[in-house]
Chains A and B, each alone.
Chain A
Amino acid sequence: MAERLLPDGASEGLIAPPPFPAKPDTAPGPAPGPARTWLAHGRWLLPVAVLALAVLGWDLVVRLNALPPYILPGPGLVVSTLIKDWAVLSGSLLVTLRITALALATAVIGGGVLALVFAASRLVELSLFPIAVILQVTPVVAIAPLMLIYLEPGTAVLTCAFIVAFFPILSNTALGLNSVDPNLQDLFALSGASRWQSLILLRLPAALPYFLGGLRIAGGLALIGAIVAEIAAGSAGQGSGLAFRVVESGYRLNIPRMFAALLLISLTGILIHTVLSLVSWLALRRWHDSAVTRQ
């Protein structure tokens, strides 16, 4: 097709015809045979089938042993409890979602801005990075009680979630900002680019895949941070997110509701992962190897 699109220069005899295979060399991959389509479906079918089998096994164990719900409720009971207690659980779900989203947002802003500062000043990076590492390696469970003394329970939970979500954003973005092709840096220098132009046109786009990788980790960690901190808060947590429901149900031996809250926490995690993966894919699908499916 491209052979017809000869450059104008060719007719003037100035320029030789265009490159020999004047079409993108998207290497022809294996033909979509039966094995390939099976694999494509298998990606969805296999985990769903395994999960269904596990739920079925769970149900059978409960039925065959006639286990009472306060030891192990069956999956049917968990779902019906989820529906029955939806008024209570949905409120807690919203609280947890709000804290997680808020923690992630502040982590993105805080981690991103600090990474930019690190990239701009080696001195600041050297002095602050170890502190960020200390915050990261200290388990949030251990920090939470202290936070609960100093801060309002809601703020304390948010702070804990922020602390765990913040580090992957910071370290990944800082790594990305420093992972610029040195030849491109030379090209920018040669073209008289200002610091600002280099940042906007070169370093930020180069850092984007790293940032998005950090974001996906941070999304999961924000939820973990929110849950862990609320569990540490225990009965003091009048904020009453999903973790509080888990603890509360435990005290009341309301095991079906405990399972229902657990299920919601899992679903929240899956939702966060899916949304962030989608964001990452949308941002990178045209150019980054990680997001491009090979044909």
Chain B
Amino acid sequence: MSADGPAQATMAPAREVVLRLDGVAKAFPNGVTALDGLDMEVRAGEFLSLLGPSGCGKSTALRLIAGLSEPTGGRIEGRPAGGAPSIGFVFQEPTLMPWATVFGNVHLPLRLQGIGRRQAEAAIMEALEMVGLGAFRDAYPRELSGGMKMRVSIARALVTKPALLLMDEPFAALDEITRFKLNNDLLAVWRQLKCTVVFVTHSVFESVFLSTRILVFRARPGRVAAEIGIDPALPRDEAFRTSADYAALCRQTSQALAAAMGERL
């Protein structure tokens, strides 16, 4: 990541837009309108967080971006057609196949493209090393801790070297220590792979620590209420977690979130 200048409230939209949602609506057959009039864009190489309270439609937005469901209104431009090779998806739960080893689980996206075990081995081991689990290739998911399962899940999403990594509250179920650790590792992976990340979370602190841009969602119907840019040049390390910059950004984001939730009442 190159330095873009000092911390600023809104990041200059210098990056190329890779994906655009234009007035997108999603209503479910049971009558719930999850999203209505959602406008947002995803820019190349950014770490974008979708922040909002439970039930604000941020996960629905992520599923629409992934192509796992179709909007009932509006348009989505730039959605990768190829599926897994170009999109990596990490679910809230690790979502591993319990009958397959760590190796087998990470192999899956390649296997579904017809790439055999031997051919895929280098890519699988690279993805596993990236999340620090190279030594656990032959372990079964039930033998791993919650944090390690999530790492396997991330390795599986990375194995196809996707341009776009979609993450749906991946660390919500983990304890804080594990979560901080995975936050650091995720940032390292993001810098190394130079991919675009869309990260759904309901944690203000997590979104500020990770993101280069945060979209604050309001609920019923879900849409973007505020946008906060965060200087990508800020060092994201343990010192940052306790810095005044971080505290100020968290306060700003919390206020934006409170305002977004207040509108609803």
Contact = CB atoms under 8 A, between A and B. Distances in A.
Q: Do A and B come from one complex?
A: yes
Place the interface of chain A in its size category. Answer: 35 or more
B99 to A, nearest CB: 5
A18 to B, nearest CB: 3
A73 to B, nearest CB: 50
A204 to B, nearest CB: 10
A9 B130 contact: yes
Interface in A15-48: 15-22, 24-26
Interface stretch (A125-133, A136-144, A181-189, A228-236): A181-189
B112 A9 contact: no
A7 B132 contact: yes
A19 B171 CA distance: 14
B3 interface: no
A24 B99 contact: no
A22 B132 contact: yes
Interface stretch (A102-110, A151-159, A269-277, A285-293): A285-293
Contact of B89 (A8, A9, A187, A286): A187
Contacts of A192: 82-84, 112-113
B128 to A, nearest CB: 8
A7 B130 contact: yes
A263 B57 CA distance: 65
A183 B149 CA distance: 15
Interface of A: 2, 5-10, 14-22, 24-26, 181, 183-184, 186-193, 197, 201-202, 205-206, 208, 286-289, 292
Given A19-B145, A183-B91, A191-B109, 12 more contacts: A5-B135, A10-B132, A14-B192, A18-B132, A20-B177, A189-B68, A190-B66, A190-B67, A190-B83, A190-B84, A191-B83, A192-B82
Interface of B: 66-68, 82-84, 87, 89, 91, 93, 95, 97-100, 108-109, 111-113, 129-130, 132-136, 139-145, 147-148, 151, 177-178, 181, 184-185, 188-189, 191-192
